[in-house]
Amino acid sequence: MKNLILFFLLVLPIMVLHAQKQKEIELSNAEKFSEKSGSLIKKTFLDVGKIRGIEFQVIYFTDLLSESKTSALRIEKEISKSYGTETKVAILDADEIDGLMKSIKLIQNNILQSKPENYTEVSYKSRSGFEAGCYSKAEGWDAFIKIEKYDRDSYVFLKNEDLGSIYSFLELAKTKF
């Protein structure tokens, strides 16, 4: 009996730590900047575009104490729930925008034109867990974005034509960084 208790006392903390580590939320560099302790952060939001209820904004972070600055793309969507609404937010660093833009162009020009024999998924992932991509189905492809990494409610299913609008928002956002 003592061995069993000792076993659980040793194994249980390891299991809890492992579970916490798996769900650890990853932050963008801009989010890390904005969460620095001992700083006074000013956030300024600039609207870039909106499609299917998804808002695209450039967000400027300024540490008023050190006068250092950074900027990022903020993607937000309000999700209706039976008990109200939840706001899902993703922050993409400025250096991630080019990769997302290249991914969207590749999806538009190559992937959506193909016909895979088997079920296929293609996706771009950011540091913070934002995801954009497409998946195959019998009639072709469907596009999607997933705003938060561990939240299945943050999926937004798009029309393939919406990718062009999102690309335009990203182009505009790049000029504002």
DSSP calls for 49-114: EEETTEEEEEEEEEETTT--EEEEEEEEEEEEETTEEEEEEEEEEGGGHHHHHHHHHHIIIIITT-
Q: What is the pLDDT of residues 87-106, one digit of tens each?
A: 999 999 999 999 999 999 99
- Bridge partners of 45, per DSSP, are 59
* Cβ-based neighbour number of residue 106 at 10 Å: 13
Tokens 């575009």 sit on residue = 49
Percent of the chain with pLDDT over 70: 86
Q: What is the pLDDT of residues 16-52, one digit of tens each?
A: 555 544 456 788 999 999 998 999 999 999 999 999 9
- Output the pTM of the full model: 0.82
Average pLDDT, the chain: 89
* CA 36 and chain centroid, separation: 21
Local structure of 139: helix, strand or coil: coil
Own/partner contacts of 30-37, CB < 8 Å, gap of 24 or more, are 30/59, 30/61, 30/70, 30/71, 30/72, 30/91, 30/93, 30/94, 31/72, 31/91, 31/128, 33/61, 33/63, 33/68, 33/70, 34/61, 36/63
Q: Which domains does the chain have, with CATH numbers?
A: 29-176 (3.30.2450.30)
pLDDT tens digits, one per residue of 134-157: 999 988 999 999 999 999 889 999
